[in-house]
Amino acid sequence: MDWSIQEIARIAGTTSRTLRHYDDIGLLEPTRIAHNGYRHYDEHALVRLQRILLLRELGLGLPQIADVLERESSEAAALRSHLAWLRREEERLARQIASVESTISTLEEGGTLVAETMFDGFDHTQYREEVEERWGKNAYADGDRWWRGMSDDERADWQRRVAELSNDWATAAERGINPASEEAQALARRHVDWLRGVPGTPASKPDRDLKGYVKGLGEMYVADPRFGVNYATSAGGPAGAEFVRDALRIYADTQL
């Protein structure tokens, strides 16, 4: 079964012109060209288009999207990473909706606004207590100051890089490569470099036990499904997080 370019444009909420452009740059080729010259797309092409649109939502440009798609060997693993991001966004938006609905209700009923509940879901402070408990109040304050000091474009770029890293981990785990392999260790190096770039984390402190922190973080990815879901494979379960943990442990033991 396949669909014409007009049908796909309507279903996906895009335009035929956009789809033709994706074809021109080699991002999304049609499955076949009909006798009337119309492009047609099969189910595999639809999955690829879904991934393209999701990556666009993450702020990636078309050249970056092409690179991501080229490096991925498993569509299911890639979509699982996208799904984890979407679920986090869904939870955040649900909290925003509840906050705004509460404000509207209070205003209409003439009640007293509660400032502490008005901005739930509008920032990243929901993890404040957990961060302070794990790494101290300064860790949260430094990270919060860094995040709020970013421009919208800088935040989007940071989120894009995090999404790419999570996706690359999940793809590597899906392929079943050895955690000690050169490819896995390159991912571990990227992961540690990312941690070092976030003010407030123990990785950003030159006097902290970076080796112990990285190994402990890997264990937390396995123990806490909130983090493990970022590295899930198509088979589900903790296998993806376990792969990240093992690769980080090897990197920490050999390089830190």
> What does the H/E/C string look like for 167-189?
HHHHHHHHHCCCCCCHHHHHHHH
pLDDT of residue 148: 67
Tokens of 67: 């690179």
pLDDT of residue 171: 85
pLDDT of residue 78: 67
The least confident of 68-72, 115-119, 232-236 is: 115-119
Computed on alpha carbons and rounded to an integer, the radius of gyration of the chain in Å comes to: 22
Cα-based torsion angle of the residue sequence 188, 190, 193, 198 in order, rounded to the nearest 10 degrees? -100
Mean confidence (pLDDT) of the chain? 77
The least confident of 60-64, 75-79, 154-158, 184-188 is: 75-79
Convert 64-77 to b/e letters by CB count within 10 Å (16 or more is b). Answer: ebbebbeebebbeb
Segment 201-213 mean pLDDT: 72
pLDDT of residue 186: 94
Segment of 9-23, 71-85, 103-117, 230-244 carrying the highest mean pLDDT: 9-23
Comparing CA positions, the residue from 199, 233, 238 lying closest to residue 221 is 238
Segment of 37-41, 220-224, 237-241 carrying the highest mean pLDDT: 37-41
pLDDT of residue 182: 93
Tokens of 129: 């207590």
User: Mind listing the pLDDT tens digit for each residue in 145-196?
Assistant: 666 676 767 777 777 777 788 888 888 888 889 999 999 999 999 999 888 8
pLDDT of residue 154: 74
Residue 145 CB neighbours (<10 A): 11
pLDDT of residue 112: 63
Tokens of 50: 């879904």
Rounded to the nearest 10 degrees, the angle between the axes of helix 5-12 and helix 16-24 is 110
pLDDT of residue 139: 54
